[in-house]
Amino acid sequence: MAWRDDWRRVRAIARKDVTTELRAKAGFNSTASLGVTILILLGLALGPDAQALRDAAVGAVWLALLFSGVLAFNRSFQVELESGALEPLLLYPGPRWTIFAGKLLGNLLFLGLMVAIVVTVGVVLFSVEIPARWPTLLGVLALGVVGLVVLGTFYASMASRSRAREVLLPLLLFPMLVPALVAATTASKALLGADLMHDADAWIRLLAAYDVIFLIATFLAFEHVIEA
Amino acid sequence: MNVADWSFDPSRTGRRTGIWLVLAAVVVLMATQTYAITNSPAEGDMGHLQKIMYVHVPAAWMTFLSFFVVLVFSVSYLWRRRETDDLIAASAAEVGAVFNGLTLALGMIWGRPTWGVWWAWDARLTSTLVLFLIFVGYLALRGFVDDAGQRARWSAAVGIIGAINVPIVYMSVMWWRTLHQQPSSPSTLDPAYTLGLRINAIAMLLVLIYFIRKRYEIARLERAVEHAAQSAAMGGR
């Protein structure tokens, strides 16, 4: 079965990436620490009024995720490039999209863990009250992170091989993330409040559509991007 | 690739039509400004401030037109892999960024006296700003990649994905907040203003075509220099 072989390739690449990260830990520790540091700085800049912090919590957490996530994406390709492993990876038989899918899965696991830490710290530092609809809130978070990882991984495959990867990736990625950022923050704020207008559902649909559209678009475009 | 394919003679490839184009663009632009400013009545609420519309609105149209050109030639590049397509897309992106900046600047100049603020987080303003950032990202990518083939493929991908994002950005910020007046177009305007707007759009279009063309010629020359330097480094001609 062809799809089963492809799935094995995807898993192999994801496992390789996660294993590398788990053994080194440097990447994870530095990006998670940066996320927490950004939260603390935002708390200092916006505080100490408790209500003001609570109002700003969603935006602060998302900005911390974006800025620390950007570092993680470049790493996933940089590690390959430094050890000259990208070319052999491209020479392996099988479709190229499996490389993208594998990287995507690896980054998703990696970032998912980081998000868990940053969000927990955010909830504590910004004294967020957990609403009754917290599972939906987690869903919004998950959808937003998927969008972030899909586009982040895609643009990192180019930016990490350019001359100015540190600055190029955020320059390419952040404007693209505007709809995801607006949708995720607005939906989260609605869920944290009373959501009297039932706004959250429309934003969640937009976020889901955004994820699906760019998942398809990046998978199609990756073939052209990864060519040596 | 042979250097001979890249020999580029500006006098042969229609330098004269280029001059006619720029002359036409300047003359039409000046004439329409004079016409629009002298012939249209002062608007009820905004008075003569409304005259900014004649440059602001066509500049916005040209921004979207340029982005459309980038999209079409990016798709075409990935399809046929012709370097010409890549260079046209890049030229359109650069000119589009200029018109985009002009749209934003003129909009702010118009917004300050009518709305009382330089900037508002309104759907149209915000999405135009995001479009500008996407253009900037596209151009930055081109600046930071040295290999011509890679640069062409990557910027085509960025151009296409960026274009997909434009309607999504617009929709998301429209839901988010809206303050902008109904966008001006011949169908929403009093007839007294439509002719001025229409001929201004034509004038702007001429300027756009001239800019893209000129930028394309320069891009061709730059590529020719790169090829010549490469083959010289290889020790041959």
Query: Among B145, B153, B176, whose Cβ lies nearest the Cβ of A227?
Result: B153
3-state secondary structure of A94: coil
CB contact A2 to B (< 8 Å): no
Other C-beta atoms within 10 Å of A131: how many? 15
Q: B49 to each of A2, B114, B156, how far by Cα in Å?
A: 65, 8, 40
pLDDT of amino acid B2? 42
CB contact A123 to B (< 8 Å): no
Amino acid at B205: L
Q: How far apart are CA A23 and CA A20, in angstroms?
A: 5
Q: Are B66 and B94 in contact (CB under 8 A)?
A: no
> Nearest CA of chain B to the CA of A63: how many Å?
17
> Nearest CA of chain A to the CA of B157: how many Å?
6
Query: Among A171, A176, A217, whose Cβ lies nearest the Cβ of B136?
Result: A171
pLDDT of amino acid B179? 46
pLDDT of amino acid B5? 47
> Nearest CA of chain B to the CA of A176: how many Å?
7
Q: Please tell me which residue, A96 or A196, carries the higher pLDDT value.
A: A96
With 0.90 as the threshold, say if the pTM is over it. Answer: no
pLDDT of amino acid A143? 93
How many A-B residue pairs are in contact by the CB < 8 A criterion? 88
Q: Are B137 and B159 in contact (CB under 8 A)?
A: no
Residue A79: pLDDT band (50, 70, 90) is: confident
pLDDT digits (tens, 9 = 90+) for A119-140: 999 999 888 888 878 888 899 9
> Nearest CA of chain B to the CA of A216: how many Å?
11
Q: Which residue in this structure is represented by tokens 């500049």?
A: B59
Residue A213: pLDDT band (50, 70, 90) is: very high
Q: Are B128 and B66 in contact (CB under 8 A)?
A: no
pLDDT of amino acid A75? 82
Domain ranges of chain B: 3-233
Q: How far apart are CA A224 and CA B154, in angstroms?
A: 8
How much is the average pLDDT of A9-27? Answer: 85
pLDDT of amino acid A219? 92
Query: Among B130, B141, B172, whose Cβ lies nearest the Cβ of A158?
Result: B141
Residue of A nearest to B126 (CA): A178
CB contact A175 to B (< 8 Å): yes
Q: Please tell me which residue, A116 or B121, carries the higher pLDDT value.
A: A116
| DSSP-assigned letter for residue A48 | S
Query: Among B78, B169, B175, whose Cβ lies nearest the Cβ of A178?
Result: B169
Residue of B nearest to A228 (CA): B150
CA torsion, ordered B40, B42, B43, B44, to nearest 10 deg: -140
Q: How far apart are CA B237 and CA B231, in angstroms?
A: 6
Other C-beta atoms within 10 Å of B163: how many? 18
Q: How far apart are CA A14 and CA B174, in angstroms?
A: 38
pLDDT of amino acid B7? 47
pLDDT of amino acid B1? 42
- Asked if B141's CB is within 8 angstroms of A168's CB, the reply is yes
In the beta sheet, which residues pair with residue B43?
B47
CB contact B139 to A (< 8 Å): no
- Asked if B154's CB is within 8 angstroms of A221's CB, the reply is no
All residues of chain B having their beta carbon less than 8 Å from the beta carbon of residue A164 are 140, 144
Q: How far apart are CA B97 and CA B133, in angstroms?
A: 9
- Asked if A172's CB is within 8 angstroms of B144's CB, the reply is no
pLDDT of amino acid B45? 65
Burial classification of residue B107, based on how many CB atoms lie within 10 Å of its CB (0-12 exposed, 13-18 middle, 19 or more buried): buried
Cis peptide before B41 (omega within 30 of 0): no
Phi and psi, residue A198, nearest 5°:
55, 45
**Which helix (H) or strand (E) segment is B99 a member of?**
helix B83-115
CB contact A198 to B (< 8 Å): no
**Which helix (H) or strand (E) segment is B181 a member of?**
none
For residue A162, pLDDT beyond 70 = yes
Q: Please tell me which residue, B26 or A104, carries the higher pLDDT value.
A: A104
- Asked if B175's CB is within 8 angstroms of A217's CB, the reply is no
pLDDT over 70 percentage in chain A: 97
pLDDT of amino acid A199? 73
CB contact A214 to B (< 8 Å): yes
Mutate to test the interface with A, among B74, B130, B161 (most CBs of A within 10 A): B161
Q: How far apart are CA B134 and CA B97, in angstroms?
A: 9
Along the 237 residues of chain B, how does pLDDT read in single tens digits? 444 444 445 445 555 667 888 888 888 888 887 877 777 666 666 666 777 778 888 888 899 999 999 999 999 999 999 989 999 999 999 999 999 999 999 888 888 888 888 888 877 888 889 999 999 999 999 999 888 888 999 999 999 999 888 888 888 877 776 545 556 666 666 666 777 778 888 888 888 888 888 889 888 888 888 888 888 888 765
Residue of B nearest to A215 (CA): B161
- Asked if B141's CB is within 8 angstroms of A202's CB, the reply is no
pLDDT of amino acid B192? 64
All residues of chain A having their beta carbon less than 8 Å from the beta carbon of residue B161 are 151, 154, 176, 214, 217-218, 221
Amino acid at B36: A
> Nearest CA of chain A to the CA of B204: how many Å?
27
Q: Which residues, 6 or more positions from A206, have their beta carbon under 8 angstroms from its beta carbon?
A: A179, A183, B168, B171, B172, B175
All residues of chain B having their beta carbon less than 8 Å from the beta carbon of residue A160 are none
CB contact A50 to B (< 8 Å): no
CB contact B153 to A (< 8 Å): yes
Amino acid at B234: M
